[in-house]
A = this chain, B = another copy of it.
Amino acid sequence: MKNTGNCNIKSKKNVSYKALGTLGEAVSSGLQSENVKISGKKTGNKPSSLPFHDRLYRPSLHFTPDKGFMNDPNGLVYDGRYFHLYYQYDPIAPFAGNVHWGHAVSTDLYHWQDKPIAVNQTQDGQAFSGSAVNDSQNHSGLFPHKDNGGLVAIFTRSTEMKQSQYVAYSCDGGEHFSDYVNNPVLDVGSTSFRDPKVFWHAPSQKWVMVVSHARAHKLSFYGSYDLLSWMHLSDFGPDGVFAVDYECPGLAEIRVEGGKSGETRWVLFLSVNPGAALGGSSTEYFIGHFDGERFIPEDRQVRMTDFAKECYALQTYNDMPGGDAVYLAWMSNWQYTEEVPTETWRGAMTLPRQMVLKHDEYGELRLVQTPYGLEALRQPSVLFDLPYFTSGEKAEVSLPPNQPFELVMDVSLEDIPETHIRDNRWCPPRFSLTFANQKGEEFSIGVDAIYNQLWLDRSKLRGFDNPFFTGQFSASLPQDARDFQLQIILDGSTLEIYANGGTVVGTALVYPDSPLETVTFRTEFLSARVTHAALYPLKKTMERITLE
């Protein structure tokens, strides 16, 4: 959860801060428009009541709140039956503030069922980010009458005076949480101490917490046997990119693919805001070892999870089946998240992403991220033929209207000329895909074969004009490669790009003023052989109102 800072807290002072039991009890704050009427119904607003852009930009595969404002994923845990998604949530207005834990459950991480608010704001503060664990052994003693324990949330309660760590527990499978009576469980007298990630560390048979001293630019590790008493283990930082607030740390043991059998590393995740190199919010990670007390990076390199700037507050699932490392992150950036062009809802989660580590072309470990289980949602591929692209050739394919889709392709670049200079002009050999509509809006994704760079250029979309909403992003591909792979998922305003099997990942919001209708494949100054291509409409998994 973002530090609200003085001005932010001030900005909310005219909001009633009384504890809200359910959505139905929400006070009318005076901040809402006609379209933000609070309702207990799960089926959402009727189509006619939703502005055009709220429907156009609404994904139907990515999780979004029916209404209100959502940011960080919280409490991600699999309880053996359901994947829980809790999230930072302002149910009152589509702006950050009044922070509760919203809640949804799923059996596949795509079909989400909305649940009542799980953790309320109280007199002790708003319910900022944190974790949930399955205390199946009742280590906490909070479930005296339950054989298999229950879910425990460890999170930050935040007031203007203090941020400290609280425990709450659920006796109904995660629907409602009650604050533990002796809260806070961890209080260092700071206004900048938040976002605990807690997990079970089997080798040392204890619970481990990593939590952020946001403005001190440090993380602390704590250990506990009962989730209630926490002992300090070690500190980490300052480290990584210089930034204002350290937030939403995470630590996960991740498989090394192509390594020795059973080889793993611990990966420490750190979200920073503001001040990331691309502006505002972004997530970096460190690869190393964790012995139950201390995280030791194995090199000094700083790696970013994403080459664009709308992927923040990444959190991995606890108790993931098979020990997979799967995360959700918030698809936005604090620089403009309250200005994006929807009126009744704001905020989306990434698709669930599985992570492994692989050695790259330099022998160095890097995160590889792929959508988790997305194949199950593919509908039959749209049929289309692509030619062998000689230089200057293009081919246009219609996009499935108002439907999330996945475009996958393997491309070999050929006939890259010896010289790139003609008539005193630099003629860059490039392969590109342009997603466009007839009103002249477009965004493009492409590869430059001289500098081996992948780009995303969304600057020619007209739905959102903001000085912080960066138009262009890029990333390096292997420098000697002539082949590349792309996997692109477009779903409402959410765009995910996975290049080369997920070694390069870009997460971005796109806001065309009108629906995009076609994708045009194009070559310049080279030839291209598309050895595989498929365009899969994807099943709509979210019951939200979108364009029909």
- State the CA gap A423–B424 with chains docked (Å): 54
Residue A288 is within 8 A (CB to CB) of chain B in the complex = no
Q: Which residue of B lies closest to A239 (CB)?
A: B300
A468 x B476 contact (CB < 8 A): no
- State the CA gap A91–B272 with chains docked (Å): 44
Residue A338 is within 8 A (CB to CB) of chain B in the complex = yes
A426 x B468 contact (CB < 8 A): no
Query: How many Å from the CB of A355 to the closest CB on chain B?
Result: 16
Residue A453 is within 8 A (CB to CB) of chain B in the complex = yes
Return chain B residues, CB-CB under 8 Å to A352: none
Given contacts A424-B36, A471-B470, contact A304 B242 (CB under 8 A): yes
B479 x A468 contact (CB < 8 A): no
Q: Which residue of B lies closest to A474 (CB)?
A: B279
Return chain B residues, CB-CB under 8 Å to A424: 31-33, 35-36, 93-94, 343
The one of B416, B418, B474 that contacts A335, using a Cβ cutoff of 8 Å: B474
A278 x B277 contact (CB < 8 A): yes
Q: Which residue of B lies closest to A424 (CB)?
A: B33
Choose, from A6-14, A70-78, A139-147, A249-257, the stretch at the interface.
Answer: A6-14
Query: How many Å from the CB of A342 to the closest CB on chain B?
Result: 11
Choose, from A166-174, A319-327, A441-449, A484-492, the stretch at the interface.
Answer: A441-449
Residue A225 is within 8 A (CB to CB) of chain B in the complex = no
A471 x B472 contact (CB < 8 A): yes
Counting every copy of the chain, the complex holds: 2
Return chain B residues, CB-CB under 8 Å to A31: 419, 421, 424
Residue A428 is within 8 A (CB to CB) of chain B in the complex = yes
Return chain B residues, CB-CB under 8 Å to A334: 451
A362 x B217 contact (CB < 8 A): yes
Within 8 A of B (CB), among A319-363: 334-335, 338-339, 343, 362
- State the CA gap A228–B469 with chains docked (Å): 52
- State the CA gap A217–B134 with chains docked (Å): 43
A467 x B450 contact (CB < 8 A): no
- State the CA gap A364–B240 with chains docked (Å): 14
Q: Mark A374-391, 1 if CB is under 8 A from B, else 0.
A: 000000000000000000
Return chain B residues, CB-CB under 8 Å to A215: 362
Return chain B residues, CB-CB under 8 Å to A291: none
B301 x A242 contact (CB < 8 A): yes
A8 x B471 contact (CB < 8 A): no
The one of B282, B300, B421, B457 that contacts A467, using a Cβ cutoff of 8 Å: B457
Q: Interface residue count for A (Cβ, 8 Å)? A: 85
Residue A24 is within 8 A (CB to CB) of chain B in the complex = no
- State the CA gap A131–B244 with chains docked (Å): 36
- State the CA gap A364–B449 with chains docked (Å): 41
- State the CA gap A198–B212 with chains docked (Å): 41
B419 x A274 contact (CB < 8 A): no
Q: Which residue of B lies closest to A238 (CB)?
A: B301
Residue A95 is within 8 A (CB to CB) of chain B in the complex = yes
Return chain B residues, CB-CB under 8 Å to A548: none
The one of B95, B238, B335 that contacts A421, using a Cβ cutoff of 8 Å: B95
Within 8 A of B (CB), among A55-85: none
- State the CA gap A479–B417 with chains docked (Å): 51
The one of B238, B453, B476 that contacts A364, using a Cβ cutoff of 8 Å: B238
B274 x A7 contact (CB < 8 A): no
A459 x B480 contact (CB < 8 A): no
Q: Which residue of B lies closest to A299 (CB)?
A: B238
- State the CA gap A238–B366 with chains docked (Å): 14
B421 x A11 contact (CB < 8 A): yes
Within 8 A of B (CB), among A464-518: 467-476, 479-480
Residue A42 is within 8 A (CB to CB) of chain B in the complex = no
Q: Mark A266-287, 1 if CB is under 8 A from B, else 0.
A: 0000000011111110100000
Given contacts A302-B302, A421-B31, contact A450 B238 (CB under 8 A): no
The one of B299, B418, B423 that contacts A13, using a Cβ cutoff of 8 Å: B418
Return chain B residues, CB-CB under 8 Å to A217: 301, 362, 364
Return chain B residues, CB-CB under 8 Å to A244: 476, 479
- State the CA gap A472–B423 with chains docked (Å): 31
Given contacts A239-B300, A470-B472, contact A274 B426 (CB under 8 A): no
Residue A420 is within 8 A (CB to CB) of chain B in the complex = yes
Q: A11-B420, A94-B424, A241-B302 are in contact. List 16 more A-B contacts (CB 8 A).
A: A7-B416, A7-B449, A10-B418, A11-B450, A12-B419, A13-B418, A33-B424, A93-B424, A215-B362, A240-B302, A244-B476, A274-B451, A274-B452, A277-B278, A338-B426, A455-B467
Ordered by A's residue number, 6 sampled pairs between the chains whose C-beta atoms are within 8 Å are: A11-B419, A11-B420, A215-B362, A242-B303, A446-B467, A457-B467
Name the 3 nearest CB pairs between A and B, nearest first.
Answer: A277-B277, A33-B424, A279-B474
Point out residues on A near B: beta carbons under 8 Å: 5-8, 10-14, 31-33, 35-36, 93-95, 215-217, 237-244, 274-280, 282, 299-304, 307, 334-335, 338-339, 343, 362, 364, 366, 416-421, 423-424, 426, 428, 432, 444, 446, 448-453, 455, 457, 459, 467-476, 479-480
